[in-house]
Amino acid sequence: MTGSSVKLPSGQSESVDLTDQAYQYMKKNKITPMWPDSMFLVNTDMAADKSGNLRYLSQRFYQTAWYYVWGLIQQNILYVLLTLGILITGRQWAKELANGAVHGEWLTLQGISPARQVLNQFGVIAYTLGQIVYLPLLLAFIVIAFWQGLGSLAYPVVGYGNNGLGFGALLLPLQQYLGGALLLSIGLIIFIATTNLLLADWIRNSWIVTALQLVLLGITWVAPPMLSSPLTYFKLDPILTGALAQQVDDSAFTAWQGFTVLLTASVLLLVILAVTRLVRGWLRQHHGVTAAAAK
């Protein structure tokens, strides 16, 4: 890196080696590095840098469109957008259930089954969440692309996996990172929408449903990583880079695994919702028959 130098403590050569590999890769693939660019730091070196100087000297400046979106995902922008999405959509179905019994009966008389009404509400909530998550990112992408350019989707990103010498640091293309982010975010939107439906159907108080969803979102920040828990996959960057897989020494923590877990959990929530409604309908019918017999 012309015109700059960084002194590394003894044993911290992995970042230097990875930086050299990254620049050789960019030179070979004719990728223009970021400007100003920095070292490609691995977790072990960052953990050993108690002073924070290495992290400070290795800041990146995400000026082009793809790189800026990448930087926002690293900074957990998805948490902010999902919080906003829950605040906007959290009350929707519960409020409908609490105040719209007549409307629901009218729809049923028009030939729209209760199951279809639930699916329609799922579509509305998921669509609204999708707009809240993706439109701000898309707008930022378009504006920055117009002024600063796109950048390269082949730009190398620090990741962790089997690098030929065991589980360690490696380079993966930015397009793989962003593709995984899209996959996981879709899974999260589906999961939040189905959670909304179930909580609303049980509680029917729009404010409590919204509060519970926000509490659930907060729990995901401190929940221990478990392969089959949907709460594990709300933190995108550790999943996408493989940092979490390295931390727990389990390569199964991937974006595809996260999407599968979130989709499976969503289906289970919908099944629970369907069973709850069937049982509630049976109890209502049984109570009606019993009351009629008593008369």
- What are 126-135's pLDDT values in tens digits? 999 999 999 9
Give the model's pLDDT for residue 38.
76
- What are 151-169's pLDDT values in tens digits? 999 999 999 988 777 778 8
Q: What percent of the chain has pLDDT over 90?
A: 45
The pairing of beta strand 167-173 with beta strand 156-162: antiparallel
pTM for this entry: 0.85
Confidence at 103, pLDDT banded by 50, 70, 90: very low
Confidence at 202, pLDDT banded by 50, 70, 90: confident
Alpha-carbon Rg for the chain, nearest whole angstrom, is: 24
Distance from C-alpha of 79 to C-alpha of 234, rounded to nearest angstrom: 8
Give the model's pLDDT for residue 290.
56
Task: Reply yes or no on whether the pLDDT at 81 is more than 90.
Answer: yes
Confirm if 93 and 157 have CB atoms less than 8 A apart. no
Q: What are phi and psi of 108, to 5 degrees?
A: -65, -40
Distance from C-alpha of 266 to C-alpha of 70, rounded to nearest angstrom: 27
Confidence at 269, pLDDT banded by 50, 70, 90: very high
In which residue are the tokens 């990741």 written? 159
Distance from C-alpha of 41 to C-alpha of 160, rounded to nearest angstrom: 12
Q: What is the DSSP string of the chain?
A: -TT---PPPTT--HHHHHHHHHHHHHHHTTPPPPSS------HHHHHH-TTSHHHHHT-----SHHHHHHHHHHTTHHHHHHHHHHHHHTTHHHHHHHH-HHHHHHHHHTT--HHHHHHHHHHHHHHHHHHHHHHHHHHHHHHHHHHH----TT-EEEEEEE-SSSEEEEEEEHHHHHHHHHHHHHHHHHHHHHHHHHHHHHH--HHHHHHHHHHHHHHHHHPPP-TT-GGGGG-HHHHHHSHHHHHHT-TT--HHHHHHHHHHHHHHHHHHHHHHHHHHHHHHHHHHHHHHHH-
